């Protein structure tokens, strides 16, 4: 009885979260009364119009931004010393002054993992995404797609309780995007981490997510939830299936209405 | 006329070659034409006896024509020879100025007493480097040729005795000690000011106010702060103070300029306190810190030379001013040349350090 309780409790619990930014002409409400539970091992995607507060919410979950109202909790796992969350930032944010391998080993290094062990972990992940040859390169020497891969495996190498990804593939061209989506799918099937994933792409949201949360334009509220019941393991090929198209159309209908509403509301 | 041949039904490969040949021939001709125009202009003015009346416009026009000529000729340089060409330009022009200076002084166009020709300045520099000044008990470089013998006779003490009599050593030591003693706390304070708004608000105005003070103006006060006002401590302190202020202001700007997302990434991956400073803040600020260090080095040289002008018995600044007072312009200029050489060498050293500390920047 007591053992089954924590399993049912959500991994991430966000309760009535609001974010207010004080500005010169009054308070700016970036996010309003937003609640979300993410189960252990669940992959949740958030989509919504630009500027609706997705990044703000993610940073609040990560504890990088103060919460104006409400509460956010991440339930710690049984393993001690494991980091609660790791963020893949919208702007890559890999350190230009560290080589790729040092970047990937950064999280373990900060947790005091020994040099040999953390470099082994980093090398494993670099090899995994085909960057083994570039271990000792600096970020300015590699392409945008490679940087984004480094940013993703920096989070994976940190082995956190939950992964927080903010449009990790947003800046990539279509082909690179598809390649990394496949990689992400494979890695996720293996690790089954709890993931909160922000994206602009409905295809990506439907392909990756167990659930897709649609947010309203500013101030960000929760508008709709879509449960994606495509079978796992998934692959890029599924994007051509009729069910996939159906999900995408459903979400698009609501999202486009919201985007239009937001544009018309603007003075 | 010539266009008829290129427009003709020749294969594409054949059309390219003559066109390029013609263009480069044009560049060479234009370059030589510009050079000839410069020479003709100056010759015509000289022949009319008007050159000295129109010296500045003539120099200006000659410079412009020289630049145009070099640009045209530079287009002919193949990619492989580019580096050599750029080096020739960078070293050749100052050399040309020296040659012209020499000629102008020899021909009496400028007064060789106050503007001695470079050859005489060079000779004075050689003289200073090789001669021991009995009156003040100093040398310029510390007589390195005596060092092996001194070492075999008295060991390190012998070397030290020779080094200690050197003007260059006195100046460099003051600059380096003052630089390090000022830069380290300056950078640390700058980091604190960059991170903490309260400290920044409290100190920013004060630092800006002290920054603009000529350090030579507060030197008398600094002297009074020490038991031996004529010793090394006040000189080093005033250098350190200038570097400190500049580096605090500079580092503050550097830290504030770090992209917020790097600080967030550092925090999210567990960096706190010292590890944050070591892995995120310092490397993030380092590029700007180094450009600040370079300016601070220049400031340190300026401060120490002016301090040595007024209050020192040794040092390149002292030596320069001394030879001015005894009306020996050649040696005064030689002193200035030494100052410039020191500036260049210290800047090189800093750039070397920068390459070592910032391998991620090409
Ligand atoms: N520090 C701040 N001060 C004031 N307003 C802010 C601040 N940071 C963000 N905002 C505002 O909060 C709103 C939400 O920003 P956020 O970056 O979370 O949007 P987003 O949904 O991630 O957009 P995008 O999809 O374009 O990345 C925006 O309107 C933005 O202008
Ligand atoms: Mg965003």
Which residue among A86, A110, A140 sits closest to B275, beta carbon to beta carbon? A110
Q: Do B265 and A110 touch (CB under 8 A)?
A: no
The token duo for A84 is 């609660």
The token duo for B131 is 């001669």
Q: Where are the alpha helices (DSSP H) in A174-231?
A: 174-191, 202-208
Q: Which residues of B touch A150 (CB under 8 A)?
A: none
- Nearest CA residue ID for atom 28, ligand 1: A51
Burial class of A242 by CB neighbour count within 10 A (0 to 12, 13 to 18, 19+): exposed
- CA dist., res. A47 & res. A211, Å (int): 11
Ligand 2 center–CA A117 separation, angstroms: 34
Ligand 1 center–CA A45 separation, angstroms: 18
Q: How confident is the prediction for chain B on average, in pLDDT?
A: 89
Instruction: Write phi, then psi, for A13 (nearest 5 degrees).
Output: -125, 110
Q: What is the pLDDT of residue A20?
A: 94
| Domain positions in chain B | 161-357
Q: Do A111 and B270 touch (CB under 8 A)?
A: yes
Is A10-75+194-267 a CATH 3.10.20.30 domain?
no
Q: Where are the alpha helices (DSSP H) in B75-196?
A: 82-106, 118-130, 147-154, 156-164, 167-195
A212, A206 contact by CB (below 8 A): yes
B272, B212 contact by CB (below 8 A): no
- Nearest CA residue ID for atom 20, ligand 1: A51
Give the number of C-alpha atoms closer than 13 A to the C-alpha of residue B252, restricted to the C-beta side.
Answer: 22
pLDDT digits (tens, 9 = 90+) for A117-144: 999 999 999 999 899 999 999 999 999 8
pTM: 0.83
Give the number of C-alpha atoms closer than 13 A to the C-alpha of residue B113, restricted to the C-beta side.
Answer: 1
Nearest alpha-carbon partner for A31 in A3, A6, A2, A51: A51
- CA dist., res. A33 & res. A15, Å (int): 8
- CA dist., res. B262 & res. A127, Å (int): 25
Which residue among A89, A99, A110 sits closest to B270, beta carbon to beta carbon? A110
Give the strand pairing for A85-88 and A194-198: unpaired
Q: What is the pLDDT of residue A232?
A: 86
- Residue A193 CB less than 6 A away from ligand 1: no
- Nearest CA residue ID for atom 4, ligand 1: A21
- Residue A28 CB less than 6 A away from ligand 1: yes
Q: Please give the interface size between A and B, counted as residue pairs whose CB atoms are below 8 Å apart.
A: 58
What are the residues of chain B with a beta carbon less than 8 Å away from any beta carbon of chain A?
A: 259, 261-262, 264-265, 267-271, 275, 279-280, 283-284, 286, 358-360, 362
pLDDT at A265 over 80: no
Nearest CA in chain A to B271: A110
- CA dist., res. B161 & res. B151, Å (int): 10
- CA dist., res. A114 & res. B102, Å (int): 66
Nearest CA in chain B to A140: B360
- CA dist., res. A153 & res. B13, Å (int): 51
Report, as an integer, the average pLDDT of A169-185: 87
The fold adopted by the segment(s) B161-357 is MetI-like fold (1.10.3720)
User: Treating both helix axes as pointing N-terminal to C-terminal, what angle do B282-310 and B167-195 enclose, rounded to 10 degrees?
Assistant: 140
Query: Confidence class of residue A8 from pLDDT cuts 50, 70 and 90?
Result: low
Q: Do A97 and B283 touch (CB under 8 A)?
A: yes
Cα distances from B16 to residues A50, B19, B80, B217, B338, in angstroms, run: 52, 5, 21, 67, 53
For a mutational test of ligand 1's pocket, the pick from A48, A51, A89, i.e. the residue with the most ligand atoms closer than 8 A to its C-beta, is: A51
Instruction: Write phi, then psi, for A266 (nearest 5 degrees).
Output: -70, 135
pLDDT digits (tens, 9 = 90+) for B64-111: 999 999 999 888 888 898 899 999 999 999 999 999 999 988 888 888
- Nearest CA residue ID for atom 23, ligand 1: A51
pLDDT at B12 over 80: no
> Percent of chain A beyond pLDDT 70?
96
- CA dist., res. B120 & res. B250, Å (int): 42
Its ipTM equals: 0.91
Q: What is the pLDDT of residue B11?
A: 46
- CA dist., res. A134 & res. A100, Å (int): 7
Q: What is the pLDDT of residue B138?
A: 87
């Amino acid at each position: 009885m007591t053992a089954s309780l924590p399993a049912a409790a959500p991994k991430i619990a966000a309760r009535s979260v609001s974010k207010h930014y004080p500005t010169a002409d009054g308070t700016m409400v970036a996010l309003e009364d937003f609640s979300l539970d993410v189960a252990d091992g669940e992959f949740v995607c958030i989509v919504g119009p630009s500027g609706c507060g997705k990044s703000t919410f993610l940073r609040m979950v990560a504890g990088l931004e103060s919460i104006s109202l409400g509460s956010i909790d991440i339930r710690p796992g049984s393993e001690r010393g494991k980091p609660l969350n790791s963020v893949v930032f919208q702007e890559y944010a890999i350190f230009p002054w560290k080589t790729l391998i040092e970047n990937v080993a950064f999280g373990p290094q900060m947790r005091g993992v020994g040099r040999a062990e953390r470099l082994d972990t980093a090398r494993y992940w670099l090899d995994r995404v085909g960057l083994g040859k570039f271990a000792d390169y600096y970020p300015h020497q590699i392409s945008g797609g490679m940087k984004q891969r480094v940013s993703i495996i920096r989070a994976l190498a940190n082995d956190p309780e939950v992964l927080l990804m903010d449009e990790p593939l947003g800046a990539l061209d279509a082909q690179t995007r598809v390649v990394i989506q496949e990689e992400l799918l494979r890695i996720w099937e293996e690790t089954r981490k709890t993931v909160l994933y922000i994206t602009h792409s409905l295809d990506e949201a439907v392909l990756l997510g167990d659930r897709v949360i649609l947010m309203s334009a500013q101030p960000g509220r929760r508008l709709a939830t879509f449960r994606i019941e495509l079978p796992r393991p998934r692959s890029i090929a599924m994007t051509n299936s009729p069910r996939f198209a159906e999900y995408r159309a459903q979400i698009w209908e609501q999202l486009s209405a919201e985007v239009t509403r937001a544009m018309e509301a603007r003075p | 006329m010539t266009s008829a041949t290129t427009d003709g039904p020749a294969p594409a490969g054949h059309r390219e070659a003559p066109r390029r040949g013609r263009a480069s021939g044009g560049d060479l001709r234009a370059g030589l034409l510009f050079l000839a125009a410069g020479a003709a202009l100056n010759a015509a003015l000289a022949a009319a006896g008007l050159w000295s009346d129109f010296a500045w416009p003539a120099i200006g026009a000659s410079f412009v024509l020289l630049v145009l000529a070099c640009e045209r000729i530079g287009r002919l340089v193949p990619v492989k020879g580019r580096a050599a060409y750029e080096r020739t330009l960078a070293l050749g022009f100052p050399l040309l100025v020296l040659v012209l200076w020499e000629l102008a002084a020899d021909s009496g166009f400028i007064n060789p007493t106050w503007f001695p020709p470079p050859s005489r300045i060079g000779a004075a520099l050689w003289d200073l480097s090789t001669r021991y000044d009995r009156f003040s008990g100093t040398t310029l470089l510390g007589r390195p040729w005596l060092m092996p013998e001194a070492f075999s006779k008295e060991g390190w003490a012998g070397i030290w005795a020779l080094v200690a009599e050197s003007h260059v050593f006195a100046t460099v030591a003051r600059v380096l000690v003052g630089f390090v003693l000022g830069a380290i706390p300056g950078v640390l304070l700058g980091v604190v000011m960059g991170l903490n708004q309260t400290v920044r608000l409290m100190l920013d105005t004060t630092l800006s106010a002290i920054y603009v003070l000529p350090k030579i103006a507060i030197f008398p006060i600094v002297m009074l702060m020490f038991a031996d006002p004529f010793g090394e401590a006040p000189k080093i302190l005033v250098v350190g103070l200038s570097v400190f202020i500049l580096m605090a202001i500079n580092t503050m700007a550097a830290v504030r300029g770090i992209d917020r997302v790097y600080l967030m990434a550092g925090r999210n991956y567990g960096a706190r306190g010292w590890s944050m400073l070591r892995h995120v803040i310092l490397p993030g600020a380092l590029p700007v810190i180094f450009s600040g260090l370079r300016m601070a080095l220049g400031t340190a040289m300026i401060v120490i030379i002016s301090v040595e002008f007024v209050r020192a018995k040794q040092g390149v600044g002292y030596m320069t001013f001394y030879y001015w007072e005894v009306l020996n312009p050649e040696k005064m200029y030689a002193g200035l040349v030494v100052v410039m050489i020191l500036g260049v060498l210290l800047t090189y050293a800093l750039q070397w350090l920068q390459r070592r500390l910032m391998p991620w920047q090409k």
